[in-house]
């Protein structure tokens, strides 16, 4: 669990872009949505520094609006730059995951070959 959380950290920005692309959302809702895909984090707060960075890079626009919780809530949506970045992330992820899958499969074949010998 802790180690998968570590791996998620590296691709968190891409995952957040994907979550936000589904429509306007706020911090805690993003964590819940990631959770429904089995993507959980040890430190849920780690999304906020990433969101700050994404805002600075111009991938998201934000607005503060009243929430049922009392304090104002910060809502996010993707900018055209954010959409382009998401497409870029998808392409990079496909490349990486295909590579890792292939490597792991080959590794499996290799082990089986050794066992047969």
Partner 1 sequence: MKLSKRSDEFVKNVRMYLFTSGKNEQEIVEVTGELEDHLAEPESRGKSVESITAGSPAEYMESLEKEMTNDYAAWLKYVPFIGLFIVAYSVMGSAINGAFEVNIIQLIGVPVVAIVSLIIYWALFRNMAKKEWTGKKSFFASFFAVTSVMLLFFVVALSSMFFIEPLYVASPKMNIVIAIICALIFVLGAIWLKQWIAIVIPILLFGPQIAFSFTSFNDEWKIIVSWIISMVLIYVMFAVHLLILKKKESKFAQRS
Beta strands in 36-114 (DSSP E): 60-66, 72-78
Q: Are 26 and 75 in contact (CB under 8 A)?
A: yes
**Cβ atoms of residues 113 and 105 within 8 Å:** no
Residues that bind partner 1 (CB under 8 A): 26-28, 31, 42-46, 48-53, 56, 62, 64, 67, 69-74
Helix (H) and strand (E) counts in the chain? 4, 3
CB of 21 to partner 1, least distance (A): 20
Using the minimum distance from each CB to partner 1, give the nearer residue, 16 or 51: 51
- CB-based contact 26:48 (threshold 8 Å): no
Smallest separation (angstroms) from partner 1 to the CB of 48: 6
Q: Which is nearer to partner 1, 18 or 51 (CB)?
A: 51
- Cβ closer to partner 1: 74 or 83? 74
Minimum distance, C-beta of residue 59 to partner 1, in the bound complex (Å): 13
End-to-end CA distance of the chain: 35
Between 39 and 97, name the residue whose CB sits nearer to partner 1. Answer: 39
Shortest distance in whole angstroms from residue 95 CB to partner 1: 27
């Amino acid at each position: 669990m802790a180690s998968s959380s570590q791996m998620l950290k590296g691709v968190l920005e891409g995952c957040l872009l994907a979550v936000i692309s589904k429509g306007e959302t706020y911090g805690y809702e993003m964590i819940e949505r990631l959770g429904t895909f089995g993507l959980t984090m040890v430190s849920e707060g780690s999304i906020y520094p990433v969101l700050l960075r994404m805002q600075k890079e111009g991938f998201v626009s934000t607005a503060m609006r009243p929430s049922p919780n009392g304090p104002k809530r910060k809502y996010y949506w993707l900018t055209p730059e954010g959409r382009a970045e998401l497409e870029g992330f998808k392409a990079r992820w496909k490349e990486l995951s295909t590579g890792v899958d292939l490597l792991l499969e080959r590794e499996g074949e290799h082990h089986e070959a050794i066992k047969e010998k």
